[in-house]
């Protein structure tokens, strides 16, 4: 069960629920809001930490968005879409054709196929979050189960609930291997297989993985594919938004699940992380027509179509990104190199604080082991997003670090179900999709505090 | 029951449809009947195939005005509005909307942080509102003819649509012609009624609900605190006689039970930018924001930022008018007059709208080959409804495309549509004049 629901269950036994003045609670129970929102209308970890960081003028390495603007060629693409390309009216509902064509080409290349066709194998959406929502709404109904690997981006379990489904959690377990995130966070394939029941309808696979930075290897994916193939009812929903943030393409490349299990995989991705435009919200789903149709059938009623100018701009950007950029063979190579340097800055900063970073193979987050940090704990403090007491150690540490050290991270317990929250207690998630100056300032603050202790 | 569901019920008896077989095993129940081709899937390609003048789907021919395009440029290049927006609403847009609605509704209490939600167009705002408010067992009242998205979204939210038809009165002008019987409306309310969607100015009729009508509706709804009115007001600025038939927001009569929805697309000729919003008391706005944060997390930032700028500039004098809104209404009024003339030259009787950008025209006088046993993926019922058949024939033979209003009626009420067609006039003067030429060329020879 998702942490948030546990929080709600706990708090309903606490005095908070009995303080009738919480307008939201009283109105929730008086049936203004639909049941599907039960527990989902509460403040979240995001509602807590962004304002807290601002209040304390902390360096915010919490929510994952870049500080910089998109590259000029991407901004120019939006300009062209608005002024020159007649892209201001309703898009074709399933996907704006210029973008669908570019994606069909890109995925035929990536997956070494020739049969991906713009009209039937591509759906676009308002970011990957929305593509996932549409996929789940199209595939999941009451009693269907969806397997999620923990720690899991918090949106997954909420969307599963809204679709009427039940989330089944399989934890990535820490191994004693210290050589990096992919080896540190292990999936036990037997545990995964035991989680499958006749009700299992989908499995969300996020690779490169948020928050751990693990990249699932060819071997791991073959193991997963072999199991899933025995269950034709299951669709693998592959969230691959960090696919280009990969730091050692030889040793740990991004391997698309669809290259191993095409017929049962819906591959999702988006432009926001790749082009530093998280606010443009252009996402997509690619796969066999019967799976893509689940997305398009929902999308046409949820939004009718995704914004045209945004889609058109990304269609142009995806083509230009293949060109040499800043001395590197393509923009994608530049991006990976830039983020690798940022990662190294953050690794040093975390070490200066006495934390042990679990070095990621991809993405733009690092999980750091915080066992060595002493701070006032346990804490009986409560917040609207975390009314459980005692507060989980990582949540309390993250608050203390914001207030006392001046750097904000996200407590990974926000990404675990209640049973598995203990797995998070000695971890914090830091984002490095930030300017070098920001990361260096974080380093200074860590050094200033921890090297004085 | 919605026409589409009747279509599915009929076609489920034909076994060879691959998607039908997969549907029954694969897609979630909430999509039942909703994964079929729609009227839009049929008529846009048909118009293109026959190079017809497409007066079907409601989007403008032209680009947004340059001040609106410039606002997007500023958002992307100068205002760094490129990263995730605040989930409930991008604050610059929320602040402008709070000001606007305080003015429109003569209030002072609408606050950006609590009374405003933005979404990816009004369609999405409505989806979030219904998903936040409606569950299995809840009923939602829709007035027919109803924009087809409403009933589909109600179904997806697990609710049941209850239809109340606007009935023809024979009087002049769309607002008078299409009448709502308040007793019939009240009888449609049950203990399960949770919402009522009120679209004014109305698509497809062009009716604007009057102060009297809205007071009557408000008096009825006030007796039922469980009911929320979802007021879809996207055509609010496309109003042609502000003195005789102004747009009246129902929130000015029933604030506590109304969620007012609107968007930028029709107003600024940017239907592809998809910036919509919901305004109302916090407990209703929260239904939208609670859903939105999981559906998309936030609406696109540069789009929201651009519209925030555009809404402010639109208050300024424009093209010789007191504001851009005045220019817009005048421009559309002229387009409407061109289309009225064109329809008359085809022997049709336009039911002249008070607002919006569609005209319903009476087609009783047109002779064409009917009934037809033809079926299409979006209309497999036989015989094909007269308006649907007429619209296909008109595309293929006359070279002008309209939308058959039976797409907007439940099966019981499809007959109300048989002598009507919906034409859009959100098009250039040249396009509308070409439609007239084609009508004259065909019908004045007959």
The C-alpha atoms of residue A288 and residue A108 are separated, in whole angstroms, by 12
Give the span between the Cα atoms of B104 and B100, in whole angstroms.
6
**Which CATH number goes with the domain that contains B353?**
3.90.1150.10
Backbone dihedral angles phi then psi of residue A376, each to the nearest 5 degrees: -65, 110
Asked if A279 lies within 8 A of B81 by C-beta distance, the reply is yes
Q: For chain B, what's the residue count?
A: 446
Give pLDDT, residue B13: 36
Who's near B364: CB < 8 A, 6+ residues apart? B349, B419
Q: How do residues B268-315 score in pLDDT, each as one tens digit?
A: 999 999 999 999 999 999 999 999 999 999 999 999 999 999 999 999
A182 shares its domain with A127: yes
- Of B261, B293, B313, the last residue of a domain is B313
**Separation of CA A307 from chain center:** 22
Mean pLDDT of B7-36: 59
| Residues B415 and B331 occupy one common structural domain | yes
C-beta atoms of B303 and A310 within 8 A: yes
In a 3-state reduction of DSSP, which class is residue B177? helix
- Within a 13 Å sphere around the CA of B310, how many CA atoms are in the beta-carbon half? 28
Contact B220, B182 (CB under 8 A): yes
Q: Give the model's pLDDT for residue B17.
A: 36
Summarised one tens digit per residue, pLDDT across range A53-88 is: 999 999 999 989 999 999 999 999 999 999 999 899
Backbone angles phi, psi at B355, to 5 degrees: -160, 175
Answer whether A74's CB lies under 8 Å from A317's CB.
Answer: yes
pLDDT tens per residue across span B128-151: 999 999 999 999 999 999 999 999
Could you tell me where the DSSP H helices lie in B348-428? 386-393
**pLDDT value for A452:** 79
Note the pLDDT of residue A19. 33
Based on the domain organization, do A77 and A60 belong to the same domain?
Answer: no
Q: What pLDDT is recorded for position B3?
A: 61
pLDDT at A22 over 90: no
Query: What is the C-alpha separation between B446 and B444, in angstroms, rounded?
Result: 6
pLDDT-based confidence at A5, cuts 50/70/90?
Answer: low
Q: Both B176 and B308 in a single domain?
A: yes
pLDDT at B2: 57
How many angstroms separate the CA atoms of B228 and B101, rounded?
19
* pLDDT confidence band for A23 (50 / 70 / 90): very low
Q: Which residue of B lies nearest to A201 if distances are taken between CA atoms?
A: B26
Question: Residue B8: inside a domain, yes or no?
Answer: no
Nearest residue in B to A39, CA atom:
B290
Distance CA B347, CA A442 (A): 75
Q: Tokens 């064509």 — which residue?
A: A101
Residue B22 lies in a domain: no
Q: What is the mean pLDDT of residues B393-402?
A: 97
Q: What pLDDT score was predicted for residue B36?
A: 83
Query: ∠ at Cα B219 (B214, B222), nearest 5°?
Result: 115
Which residues in chain A are contacts of B270 at CB distance < 8 A? 88-89
Give the up-direction half-sphere exposure of residue B198: CA atoms within 13 A in the CB hemisphere.
29
Residues A47 and A136 in one domain: no
Whole-prediction pTM value?
Answer: 0.93
pLDDT grade, residue A31 (50/70/90)? low
Average pLDDT estimate for B406-421: 94
Residue B269 resides in a domain:
yes
Are residues A242 and A173 part of one domain?
yes
Alpha helix ranges (H) inside B227-353 = 282-295, 301-313, 324-344
Considering only CB atoms, A290 lies closest to which of B26, B73, B273, namely B26
Q: What is the pLDDT of residue A15?
A: 32
Touching A: B residues 78-107, CB under 8 Å: 80-85, 87
Say if B7 falls within a structural domain. Answer: no
What's the structural domain count of chain B? 2
pLDDT tens readout for residues B312-364: 999 999 999 999 999 999 999 999 999 999 999 999 999 999 999 999 999 99
A126 inside 8 A of chain B by CB: yes
Q: What is the DSSP letter of A348?
A: H
Which residues in chain A have their CB less than 8 angstroms from residue B157's CB? 34
Residues pairing with B258 in the sheet: B229
Instruction: Specify whether B275 is located in the same domain as B420.
Output: no
When comparing pLDDT for A7 and A180, which is higher? A180
pLDDT digits (tens, 9 = 90+) for A261-295: 999 999 999 999 999 999 999 999 999 999 999 99
CA distance A193 to chain B (A): 22
Q: What CATH number is attached to the domain comprising A258?
A: 3.40.640.10
CB < 8 Å & 24+ apart, contacts of A377-386: A383/A43, A383/A48, A384/A42, A384/A43, A384/A47, A384/A48, A385/A42, A385/A43, A385/A44, A385/A45, A385/A47, A385/A48, A386/A7, A386/A45, A386/A48
Residues A165 and A272 in one domain: yes
Within the 262-301 window of chain B, which residues sit less than 8 Å (CB to CB) from chain A? 269-274, 282-284, 286-287, 290-291, 293-301
Query: In the predicted model, is pLDDT for residue B23 greater than 90?
Result: no
pLDDT value for A345:
97
pLDDT value at residue B35: 84
Model pLDDT, residue B6: 55
Residue finishing a domain among B259, B290, B313: B313
Q: Say whether pLDDT at A30 is over 60.
A: no
Task: Decide if A47 contacts A278 (C-beta within 8 A).
Answer: no
Residue B364 has what pLDDT? 97
With respect to residue B153, please indicate whether it lies within any of the assigned structural domains: yes
Residue A23 in domain: no
CB contact under 8 A, A155 and B297: yes
B229's torsion region: left (phi>0), alpha (psi -120 to 50) or beta?
beta
Strand spans (E) along B130-192: 139-144, 160-165, 167-168, 178-179
Quick check: helix, strand or coil at residue B239? strand
Mean pLDDT for A13-28 is 36
Mutant choice from B70, B259, B266, B272 vs A, greatest count of A C-beta within 10 A: B272
pLDDT at A6: 53
Residues B191 and B80 reside in one and the same domain: yes
Per-residue three-class SS string for A191-246: HHHHCCCCCEEEEEEECCCCCCCCCCCHHHHHHHHHHHHCCCCCEEEEECCCCCCE
Residue A367 belongs to domain spanning: 43-64+332-450
Buried b / exposed e along A406-422 (16+ C-beta atoms within 10 A): bbbbbbbbbbbbbebbe
- What mean pLDDT comes out for the span A204-213? 97
Same domain, A167 and A85: yes
Cβ within 8 Å, pair B132-A37: yes
- pLDDT confidence tier of residue B254, bands split at 50, 70 and 90: very high
* Same domain? B171 vs B276: yes
User: What are the φ and ψ backbone dihedral angles of B352, each rounded to 5 degrees?
Assistant: -65, 125
Instruction: Tell whether A240 and A290 lie within a shared domain.
Output: yes
Inside any domain, residue B4: no
Measure B239 CA to nearest chain A CA, in Å.
21
Assign A4 a pLDDT band (cuts: 50, 70, 90): low
Structure confidence at residue A306 as a pLDDT band (50, 70, 90): very high
Residue of B nearest to A308 (CA): B272
- Residue A210's φ and ψ, nearest 5 degrees, are -100, 130
Task: Identify whether the C-beta of residue B186 lies closer than 8 Å to the C-beta of residue B332.
Answer: no
Q: Choose one of A263, A288, A321: the last residue of a domain.
A: A321
Answer whether B156 sits within 8 Å of A277, measured CB to CB.
no
pLDDT at A3: 57
Yes or no, beta carbons of A126 and B296 under 8 Å apart: yes
- Look over chain A and give the mean of its residue pLDDT values, rounded to a whole number: 92
Does A33 map to a domain? no
Closest CA to A81 of A280, A244, A325, A334: A280
**Facing residue for B301 by CB, picked from A24, A138, A279:** A279
- State percent of chain A over pLDDT 90: 87
pLDDT at A436: 96
């Amino acid at each position: 069960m998702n942490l948030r629901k546990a929080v709600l269950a706990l708090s309903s036994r606490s005095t908070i629920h009995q303080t009738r003045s919480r307008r939201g609670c009283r109105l929730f129970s008086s049936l203004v809001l639909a049941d599907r929102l039960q527990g989902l209308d509460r403040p979240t970890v995001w509602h807590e930490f962004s304002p807290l960081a601002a209040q304390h003028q902390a360096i915010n390495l919490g929510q994952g968005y870049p500080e910089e603007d998109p590259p000029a060629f991407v901004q120019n693409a939006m300009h062209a879409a608005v002024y020159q390309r007649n892209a201001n009216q309703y898009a074709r509902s399933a996907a704006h054709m210029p973008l669908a064509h570019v994606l069909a080409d890109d995925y035929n290349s990536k997956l070494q196929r020739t049969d991906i066709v713009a009209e039937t194998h591509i759906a676009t959406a308002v970011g990957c979050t929305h593509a996932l929502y549409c996929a789940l709404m199209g595939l999941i109904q009451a009693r269907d189960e969806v397997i999620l690997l923990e720690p899991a981006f918090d949106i997954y379990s909420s969307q599963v609930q809204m679709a009427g489904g039940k989330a089944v959690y399989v934890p990535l377990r820490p191994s004693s291997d210290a050589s990096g995130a992919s080896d540190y966070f292990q999936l036990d394939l037997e545990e995964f297989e035991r989680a499958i029941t006749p009700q299992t309808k989908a499995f969300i696979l996020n690779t490169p993985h948020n928050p751990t930075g693990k990249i699932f290897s060819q071997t791991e994916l073959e193991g997963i594919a072999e199991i899933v193939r025995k269950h034709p009812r299951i669709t693998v929903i592959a969230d691959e938004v960090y696919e280009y943030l990969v730091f050692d393409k030889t040793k740990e490349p991004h391997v698309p699940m669809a290259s191993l299990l095409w017929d049962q995989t819906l591959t999702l991705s988006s432009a926001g992380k790749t082009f530093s435009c998280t606010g443009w919200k252009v996402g997509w789903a690619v796969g066999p027509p019967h799976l893509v149709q689940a997305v398009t059938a929902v999308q046409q009623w949820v939004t009718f179509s995704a914004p045209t100018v945004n889609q058109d701009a990304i269609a142009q950007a995806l083509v230009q990104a293949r060109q040499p950029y800043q001395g590197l063979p393509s923009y994608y190579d530049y991006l990976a190199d830039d983020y690798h340097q940022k990662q190294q800055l953050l690794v040093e900063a975390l070490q200066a604080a006495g934390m042990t970073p679990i070095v990621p193979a991809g993405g733009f987050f690092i999980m750091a082991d915080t066992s060595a940090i002493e701070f006032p704990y346990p804490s009986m403090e409560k917040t609207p997003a975390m009314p459980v007491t005692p507060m989980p150690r990582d949540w309390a540490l993250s608050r203390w670090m914001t207030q006392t050290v001046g750097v904000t991270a996200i407590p990974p317990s926000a990404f675990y179900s209640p049973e598995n929250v203990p797995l998070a207690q000695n971890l914090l998630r830091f984002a490095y999709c930030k300017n070098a100056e920001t990361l260096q300032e974080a380093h200074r603050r860590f050094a200033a505090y921890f090297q004085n202790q």
